[in-house]
Amino acid sequence: MARGAFIVIEGLDRSGKTTQIAALYEHLISLGKKVEQIKFPDRTTAIGKMIDAYLKSQADIDDHAIHLLFSANRWESVSKILKLLEEGTTILCDRYAFSGIAFSASKGLPFDWCKTPDVGLPEPDMVLFLDVSPEVAQERGGYGEERYEKEEMQKRVREEFVRVRDCGGRSLRWEVVNAGRAKDQVELDIRNATQALFNGVEGPIRRLWA
Ligand code: NYM
């Protein structure tokens, strides 16, 4: 039996990730596929609660320490991810290690240092990067109240995402989707890009940057 596909959706804040994941999820359900949505940070765990307090500015945490907590928050989900994939369930994941590097590096932490704690995580079969300019993102009702949700920071993060893509390694499939267009157009592009994965993937799950 083919294993489930591991699909990650990345992008700036307000790029439409949550809406698009929900749409793809509904599409897969309508096709009778086994599919689960996950998201990082997962704010429900003990580590996730510390991250949540940090993002809401209720706690101050050193930049290095919070970076490691974001990574630890992924590692604590690895057994669940592998189990779902082995059972043949497709995973749609809202943010992953790529956000981790892009956001921390944009604060000035060394790029390679940022990458190290995530080396060896399950590698996605595809990363869909929803690309939107910070200006368009801002027009979409403005950013929220959390840390990082400012146009200046988002500009730097977008640049870091390009570096993250370029360090992806040979096997990583990274598709850029122009997310500055109407929701339905973006939805169609995402469906077309991921269609070949809907029936699962042959072969073992690879490890990120390992
Ligand atoms: N974020 C997210 C990071 O800084 N590092 C990470 O590893 C991850 C996964 O958290 N602005 C940032 C990006 C977002 C914020 O994400 C919360 P969301 O998708 O709004 O819950």
**Mean pLDDT computed over every residue of the chain:** 96
| Mean pLDDT of all residues in 66-92 | 98
Residue 141 has a pLDDT of: 75
User: 36 with 156: CB under 8 angstroms?
Assistant: no
CATH of domain 6-197: 3.40.50.300
Residue 140 has a pLDDT of: 84
CA 202 – ligand 1 centroid, Å? 31
The CB of 161 under 6 Å from ligand 1? The reply is: no
175-195 pLDDT, tens digit per residue, is 999 999 999 999 999 999 999
Q: What percent of the chain has pLDDT over 90?
A: 90
Token representation of residue 48: 């996730």
pTM of the model: 0.97
**Does the pLDDT at position 56 exceed 90?**
yes
The CB of 117 under 6 Å from ligand 1? The reply is: no
User: 2 with 199: CB under 8 angstroms?
Assistant: yes
Residue 99's nearest CA partner among 121, 113, 114 is 114
Mutate to test the pocket of ligand 1, among 62, 66, 103 (most ligand atoms within 8 A of CB): 103
DSSP-assigned states of every residue in 130-145: EE--HHHHHHTT---S
- How sure is the predictor about 115, in pLDDT bands with cuts at 50, 70 and 90? very high
Domain ranges within the chain, ordered by starting residue: 6-197
| Mean pLDDT of all residues in 113-129 | 98
The CB of 148 under 6 Å from ligand 1? The reply is: yes
Please tell me whether the interface predicted TM-score (ipTM) of this complex is above 0.90.
Answer: yes
Look-up: residue for tokens 């157009």? 185
List the residue whose alpha carbon is closest to atom 5 of ligand 1.
100
